[in-house]
Structure 1
């Protein structure tokens, strides 16, 4: 049985802000490092190619430990685990800034990853248990905005900090944000526990192995020289997933019960998240790369070009509730995915002589519809979960999103490399980017058909109360 006492209005007002703080810190940190790797490599006397380990170690740690977040929250309470995760993430950030070599940095990133793997899922779980279904959309809508702003501000802030301060500040910036989250969490975070807790250690190890292997394969896909070992790791990951399926079928108390997938809205939300993010996730990486490689512009310039995405995401946040109330989840998600895919295709139109400003309105509009997409997918996934399913369901959603973002980035890089080595680009690297945007845009449009599995009435219980 799970503790779900009604919370005072002060908690309901501050809790979305606490989750937003955690999401912003994690999303900023996961993107700010990309523009800073050459500077860090130079300072640590390492090759920039070897510095990928600093990114991979963090992603792998997230994938491995996220499945345990629901159990730990149920066992020790959402408040204690959330505060612990913020402390761990902040300490990891401090250790990163003090790193004297690559080994120190990788170990510090692992500490950060353990904190990050608990921070967002546990904060989100507290939000789900605090708000009624008809209030949850509005609360989740507010908290999800940092997930859109963080990846846009990351390269921009990272570029400025490296140019005008030093790379150490890209980690130190997390500490005041973490302290703010800890202070607010101590005062306002509810401490939900479950009296019925039984940890499925075997299932956790099997699923962690599957997540680890799939994460390694997607990192290798992004920088592949020989396809055979990559495919081997990829297939092995799916074999572990099948092994977990066999394990969960035997009953007991699996870490991710199979009855979650009997909930149609959860099933569609999980598959839709994975499918649509294949295209969406690669745009914030591919566009800055194109601006820097093809257009020969600076990292700061590329950061400014995609910055409008963060501003329009705020307008999307203010519109999504009205849109969902009027059109429902099925129509909104299908049409919205088609629009996003079309906008990605439009990024392929400008040639090398076109002004960079041509991209600004496309990116601005894309930010608006991305905001609607993420809020809608996140809320429909949990719309019909029962109280006893929320911990495991929320953890699985978090793992799925992490893997989906990673696969999306890797997929975009694979397509780019395929076109780079083809005869289609006629020696123009810019054309490789154009064909890549066209490919992932078309695939995003096709992925919208996943949401046809939703019923027109799905998500009606998520409609917000009138103000």
Structure 2
């Protein structure tokens, strides 16, 4: 009996990250695949393709509004219950998207999907944190990094293939079997952990921060796209930043705010969130810039573009097997500092691509760049929780998820704005291959600026999570793994 319990625990440590990863992959794939299929959906509805952008922005707004609620919900009703409910809601929203016959119905169904997605991301991460020992966290979180990178690169070719050779409605129907399998596996292998919370729900804070996040995300998502008037975008950003500032003041006088920004005082968590925000801004622009460059600048088809960008996902998969040993050998601080330079170098390198660049060189560069970006994501996602105590885990995952969503939206907005500025200064009516270079150089500098937050970390930051410290049973001394041996 005793021998089977450790085996069951090891199996759960392997299966739980996979279950969460599959759910997150479903969400990430769906979020990007719809962009490729918007023209086909627009033709089906007899709508202007630009108006179909509401199907994307409505989903993002729904995410921004409901993510702050996720941590409180998980503590109140249990992480497994909320995670399974999120999968069910997301799947029902997908079914709704597949049967709609007009834009208003599609927007409503996408809002339902956003409610489910807002719970899946932070609560899925919380499930990992409450199930996996800290010493195994790097390997577990690596599984979550893979779907985050796979979704944006698989979305365009899959969306293009389905829209070209079938019906766009199948884009949403493929979520049904994944959702059913995810719920069954979650109910079987995930414990319904809770944290007792006796304080009142911070309803005022929820309204203020949710509207602030939604307005800010919506504003940045539309920067440089020419869809909304500049005055509307500026108003959204002003209102969003104003509400977030108001919420920060609210946290100073509220005992338990719905998003606990005081957690940023924990050095490892603060470095991950703030430094990671800048790094993800740069990375967030890549899925927007690279397909556009390959299609508009180089003249490739959407399917060919998607197949080339898939190389980045292949690099991410390779990282899954090497992230743990790398972080354990060199430590978080050294990895974050060195790898930030490497990732920024590869982001800048994309700016030197031309239509004459051999595809093998582009694929090889994307492959290696994908590996190092994934290593950075895994490092950021695990060191964040190195010094967070168990009762605060739900609040930490909520704050981290909000910051990540904002940073990715900021990245897309900055990328679009840079392209718009380059096009305006060139005086040309359409983008050419050379217009993308300045954008890549600027986002590389933005990513590089995250060093300011990684540099102050102590050399032993996160050693318990990386495995450089062996934590024995209570009552025995801690063992420090020598930093020069591996």
Instruction: Pick the TM interval, shorter chain.
Output: over 0.9
Distance, in Å, in 2 between the alignment partners of 1:433 and 1:61 is 31
CA distance in 1, matches of 2:198, 2:83: 18
Matched residue, 2:65: 64
Cα distance in 2 for partners of 1:349, 1:8 equals: 49
Counterpart of 1:251 in structure 2 is 254
* CA displacement at 1:278 relative to structure 2: 1.6
Q: How does 1:385-400 map to 2 (within 5 A)?
A: 385-400=388-403
What's the CA shift string for 1:242-292, capped at 9, x where partnerless? 211111111322112243122111111111121011211111221111111
Is the contact between residue 93 and residue 172 of structure 1 (CA under 8 Å) also seen in structure 2? yes
TM-score (norm 2): 0.91
**5 Å matches for 1:283-432?**
283-423=286-426, 429-432=432-435
In the aligned structure 2, how far is the partner of 1:421 from the partner of 1:357?
32
Q: Name the stretch that deviates more: 189-198 or 60-69.
A: 189-198
Q: Indicate the larger mover: 364-373 or 326-335.
A: 326-335
After TM superposition, list the pairs within 5 Å mapping 1:37-436 onto structure 2. 37-198=38-199, 199-224=201-226, 226-423=229-426, 429-436=432-439
Conserved? CA contact 2:83–2:123, under 8 Å: yes
RMSD: 2.0
Superposed displacement of residue 197, structure 1: 3.9
Shift of residue 424, structure 1, vs aligned partner: 8.6
- The residue matched to 1:167 in structure 2 has which SS? coil
Q: TM-score with structure 1 length normalisation?
A: 0.95
CA distance in 2, matches of 1:286, 1:357: 19
Q: Contact 1:66–1:118 at 8 Å: present in 2 too?
A: yes
Distance in 1 separating the partners of 2:356 and 2:140: 44
- Structure 1, gaps ≥5 residues long: 1-5
Contact 1:65–1:117, Cα closer than 8 Å, also in 2: yes
Match of 1:3 in 2: none
Worse overlay, 10-19 or 43-52: 10-19
Q: Distance in 2 between matches of 1:237 and 1:169?
A: 36
When the two structures are aligned, how many residues end up with a matched partner?
462
Contact map agreement 2:87 2:183 (CA 8 A) in 1: yes
Distance change (3 Å), C-alpha of 1:70 and 1:17: same
Measured against aligned partners, the alpha-carbon deviations of 1:70-92 in whole angstroms (never above 9, x if no partner) come to 11111111111111111111110
1:415, 1:436 within 8 Å by CA — same for their partners in 2?
yes
Which structure 2 segments of 5+ residues have no match?
A: 1-5, 471-480, 482-486
Q: Distance in 2 between matches of 1:97 and 1:264?
A: 45
Residue 443 (str. 1) matches residue 453 (str. 2): no
Mapped partners of 2:258, 2:419: distance in 1: 37
Alignment CA distance shift 1:135-1:342 (3 Å): same
Cα shift at 1:427: 7.9
Aligned to 2:24: 23
Secondary structure of 2:213's counterpart equals helix
- Residue 460 of structure 2: SS of its match in structure 1? coil
Q: Residues 78-121 of structure 1, C-alpha deviation per residue, up to 9 Å, x if partnerless? A: 11111111111111001101010011110000111101111121
Maintained 8 Å contact 1:333/1:451 = yes
Report the Cα distance in structure 2 between the residues aligned to 1:222 and 1:453, rounded to whole angstroms: 35
